[in-house]
Amino acid sequence: MDITLIELVKTIILGIVEGLTEWLPVSSTGHMILVDEFIKLDVSKSFMDMFLVVIQLGAILAVVWLSFEKLNPWSSRKSPTEKRATYSLWAKVIVACLPAAVIGLAFNKYMEEHFMTAPVVATTLIFYGILFIVVENYNKHRKPRVTDIDTLDYKTALIIGIFQVLSLVPGTSRSGATILGGILFGASRTVAAEFTFFLAIPVMFGASALKMVKFGLHYTGAEIIIMLVGMVTAFIVSVLSIKFLMRYIKTNDFKAFGWYRIVLGILVLVYLFAVGDPTADN
């Protein structure tokens, strides 16, 4: 394929969608699947399947860039106690990654073949949108047990990791599932969101590496440009999204995201009822 201006514009749009939705609890994969139905890149299906995962590298690099000092256990600015706390944080992240790593490797192919459809996305958008509202109402008068990420215990980290498994179904939202799990089991919104960001680092790097190896590491010049443009766009937008979310949850709950998911899911179902499922033949 040849790179044209319209293909670059499409790639930038996909990068913006990824950057906006990866960190907000609204399902980046779900949005990318839906947007892909209307904005088709002139690429092979195998490349597109890989691109929709690898573009997340741009988003995850935003977390690394924004939190590098906090995540760096070798920083000369840290005391021995702070360095031990950083090592402990990484250990908790690894523990939380185990459920998704085990179950994801076993069922990822099946999920891709049977659940990467618009009806599934619409259904999960609505279901977890309702769940966000229910959980926030339930937590209205509860006091968080964990208000600082350094005091997050291994048990809660593992529970959050188990909730991450739910995101194997498109439309669930990895960040949404883990934030819900964190809040339900005593973490504050800030701690749940921050740990979710850190948990994404090994998960997304691993998923992207697997996709790239599976694709075969043979790319045309145009495909390399598309990946780079998508990742850079996702990086820039992700930086803004993360900063917005961390400011927002200091004074607001997640109900607005719940209502957004419900409305979007209903609109998708109405669209599918009117024109049919565009993913039915995939």
Q: Which pLDDT score is estimated for 279?
A: 55
One digit per residue, the tens of pLDDT, for the chain of length 282 reads 567 889 999 999 999 999 999 899 998 877 877 787 778 888 888 888 888 888 888 999 999 999 999 999 999 999 999 999 999 999 999 999 999 888 877 776 777 677 778 888 889 999 999 999 999 998 888 899 999 999 999 999 999 999 999 888 888 888 999 999 999 999 999 999 999 999 999 988 887 887 787 777 788 888 899 999 999 999 999 999 999 999 999 889 999 999 999 999 998 888 888 876 655 555
Q: What share of the chain is helix, strand, coil (3-state, %, to 5)?
A: 75, 0, 25
Block residue for tokens 């691993």? 206
Q: Which pLDDT score is estimated for 217?
A: 74
What pTM, to 2 d.p., does this model score? 0.85
Q: Which pLDDT score is estimated for 71?
A: 94
Q: Which pLDDT score is estimated for 169?
A: 86
Nearest in space to 227 (alpha carbons), one of 53, 37, 39: 53
Q: Which pLDDT score is estimated for 210?
A: 78
Contact 257, 41 (CB under 8 A): no
Q: Which pLDDT score is estimated for 222?
A: 87
Q: Which pLDDT score is estimated for 80?
A: 94
Q: Which pLDDT score is estimated for 96?
A: 95
Nearest in space to 189 (alpha carbons), one of 253, 282, 272, 102: 253
Contact 94, 230 (CB under 8 A): no
Contact 156, 191 (CB under 8 A): no
Q: Residues of 37-68 as b/e, b for ≥16 C-beta within 10 angstroms?
A: eeeebebeeebbbbbbbbbbbbbbbbbeebee
